Structure 1
């Protein structure tokens, strides 16, 4: 089975806020993230609802890394069996903050405008 490729969002200046977010987390949490990203790469869109959830009304998916810190990584599927990781948060409330969803959507829009030009 072909694996999906995981791509980290980068700004036009080559910075990757999602990569930086992950790198600044505790090593144990980074290891959990690596495990879940490996599952995402292996199973793709069929990863299952325990790990991924579609955010209603948006093109975004939320990858859930459970543990003492509830980490959420927002991503989309793009052409060629690829996932684009856009934004990450430590979730502190039951509901995903609208501000965080807007950040992920703004990054997606910026990415799309860059690749279309």
Structure 2
């Protein structure tokens, strides 16, 4: 029997139809993709989830925290109408989340929450 998902993962789409997180994931090694994918799936199956896997960053904005072999990745997401919308992905180079990356995730979150996102696109 298949496991029931608590929330369904979808990729944020820009107005031009690009999926930045999907493109970012494709740029990573197969092991990195696998590890990040497993963590995203764990969130999808068990939402809501807290630390150490998920950390709330702002109102309606969370990050999936994945420790890779020699790096740390973060995938920012929002929850909207039963969807876990993947907004932005990064490989962290320091302890602090880069301001520009956090602001980009917030902008995309705002687009989604204002209705500027259509999961059918």
What TM-score, normalized by structure 1, do the two folds share?
A: 0.87
Q: Cα deviations across residues 59-99 of structure 1 (Å, max 9, x unaligned)?
A: 2101101022200000011112x211100111011111111
Between the two proteins, the alignment pairs up a number of residues equal to 113
List per-residue Cα deviations over 1:19-46 (Å, max 9, x = no partner): 100110011000001111110111011x
Structure 2 partner of 1:75: 77
**Alignment partners' CA distance in 2, 1:93 and 1:106:** 22
Give RMSD over aligned pairs.
1.7
Matching residue of 1:51: 53
Deviation at 1:51, TM superposition (A): 0.6
Q: Name the structure 2 match of 1:35.
A: 38
Residue segments in structure 2 that go unaligned for 5+ positions in a row: none
2:19 alignment counterpart: 16
**What TM-score does the superposition give when structure 2 sets the normalisation length?**
0.85
Unaligned runs of 5+ in 1: none
